[in-house]
Structure 1
Amino acid sequence: MSSKRPAPELPEPLAPLVDAHTHLDACGATDAASTAVIVERAASVGVGQVVTVADDLAAAQWAVRAAHWDQRVYAAVALHPTRANALDDAAKAELERLAADPRVVAIGETGLDYYWPGKLDGCADVETQIEGFRWHIDLAKRLRKPLMIHNREADHDLLTVLLDEGAPDTVVFHCFSSDTHMALACVAEGYVLSFSGTVSFKNAHELREAAKVVPDELILVETDAPYLTPHPFRGAPNESYCLPYTVRALAELREQDPAELAKITTANARRVYGI
């Protein structure tokens, strides 16, 4: 990922931590050696395990390979909602094969994205996204794996589809970005909310309020690297080693000790993903 800003400096270590959602390939990893470099850098500040997430079929295949290269890496596979128009029979068969791998700990990221249709060439329309979302929900239930959700400006419809289909036992809202009302609606269903660097942005008022109402047992932390680098490094390339910045910002918001929040989110990640 190109950026005009230099990479953030290494934070003060905070352990243990699990990066519940990153994209190692988009961070520049291509093979076992380059994957190990990124994972080692994360481990040096306390981030001992990462979940690398796919948004298309090639990324899903790569994520599974990466999870076999390094025992600290786990994979999640799916087609991103904006790419749901590529979910043909062949793609479904390949995703089912990949998703059955024991190193795959979630089906994702899937869900609904109402921001990009009409703005991005080739983006799946809303109806196609909903159809693809329903298929991924069914896959998660059949394989008894967590469902990892991407939600952009689609709160109502997302909850409606989950209710209509019947949600899997575990649902994770990756990079939660909605308000307190949505957070409470998710909590009422027992859904897990994962917070990224956006929770450290001072202008993200509604999100920051939402982060305060999530009970300890339903909270995760993530980078979504190489995107959403936490304050004060916004606009710089993100990576799993930056997670302690987000955890400290989240702990301050929630009036918790950062070390305690690290332990809580790590225990949750290990429970949710079975790692």
Structure 2
Amino acid sequence: MSDRPPAPEPLPHPVVDNHCHLDIARGDGPALPVGEALAAASAVGVTRIVQIGCDLPGARWAVEAAATYDAIVAGVALHPNEAPRLPDLDAAMAEIEALAASGPHVRAVGETGLDTFRTGADGAAVQEESFRRHIDLAKRLDKTLVIHDRDAHDDVLRVIDSEGVPERWVMHCFSGDAGFARACLDRGAHLSFAGTVTFKNAGYLRDALAITPRDRLLVETDAPYLTPTPHRGRTNASYLVPLTMRAMAEVRGDDLGELCAAVDANTEVAFGGTWG
């Protein structure tokens, strides 16, 4: 891992990286072998990972990884930017449903949601249809719903209010301000914060973090993306979660060990129990 950021100081209590893409590589190197990625994460106190599949190949990979490694559970879905590109949404959703129902190692339906940054108006209707169908699937299978929301806060709330949400749902890589945080919390969400909360221009995220009850907080990498400061722009990985956790504790004025213990317990609640 010599071309990657160095490992930070280990955390005083284990946490879960609740949103990761172990199968995706970035330009500065191939994806780490899964065993190596898990070992590096565990060495700094990140002992479990939720592997998220965003298209059919990625969803199949996530399910296989979760079946192979005790430290991994899977989430499967069609990413909101993927859905409008598919020639047959019905067939793709049928496979996602089969994968989601394939065993207890598949804990989540996600990431699904809305994204108006990369998908234009011509794909909006299909994107919303896909989102609604994923919500229905999560409720029918009693899976955690994991929501991707980029530049679509009001529409995400509109769809959630229209469809209703399952008992457990997560706002992945929370990207709103304190007002949007309250709106999601009022609807029962867990809010997951990524490396973006460490960015200099993300004061609004830190405001949202500060008002979130401790029992609703999660942490994630979205690796290989969204690498926390001071390594922004380099490849992210689960072993860098301690940088985000320390920033979260500082923003909130929390004891780091107590916050880690809370986030670890919250992740079990949010994803339906223990594993690994």
* Alignment TM-score, normalising by the size of structure 1: 0.93
Mapped pair 1:128 → 2:126: yes
Distance 1:98 1:18 in 2: 22
Alignment of 1:102-251 (within 5 A): 102-118=104-120, 125-251=123-249
Contact 1:196 1:221 in 2 (8 A): yes
Deviation for aligned residue 1:125: 1.1
Map of 1:57 onto structure 2: 56
Distance 2:161 2:17 in 1: 28
Amino acid at match of 1:35: V
Amino acid at match of 1:264: A
Map of 1:17 onto structure 2: 15
* Structure 1 unmatched runs, 5+: none
Map of 2:74 onto structure 1: 75
Distance 1:40 1:6 in 2: 17
Deviation for aligned residue 1:220: 0.2
2:149 is paired with a residue whose SS is strand
Deviation for aligned residue 1:259: 1.2
* Structure 2 unmatched runs, 5+: none
Map of 1:94 onto structure 2: 95
Deviation for aligned residue 1:89: 2.2
1:271 to 264, 269, 272: 269
Distance 1:160 1:23 in 2: 28
Amino acid at match of 1:53: I
Deviation for aligned residue 1:182: 0.2
Deviation for aligned residue 1:242: 0.3
Distance 1:77 1:83 in 2: 13
* Alignment TM-score, normalising by the size of structure 2: 0.92
Distance 2:150 2:242 in 1: 25
Distance 1:106 1:73 in 2: 12
Deviation for aligned residue 1:29: 4.9
- CA RMSD after TM alignment: 1.5
Deviation for aligned residue 1:124: 6.9
**Percent identity among equivalent residues?**
49
2:109 is paired with a residue whose SS is strand
| Residues paired across the two proteins, number | 264
Distance 1:242 1:93 in 2: 35
Deviation for aligned residue 1:6: 4.0
CA 1:234–1:6 in structure 2 vs 1: closer, same or farther (change >3 Å)? farther
Amino acid at match of 2:187: E
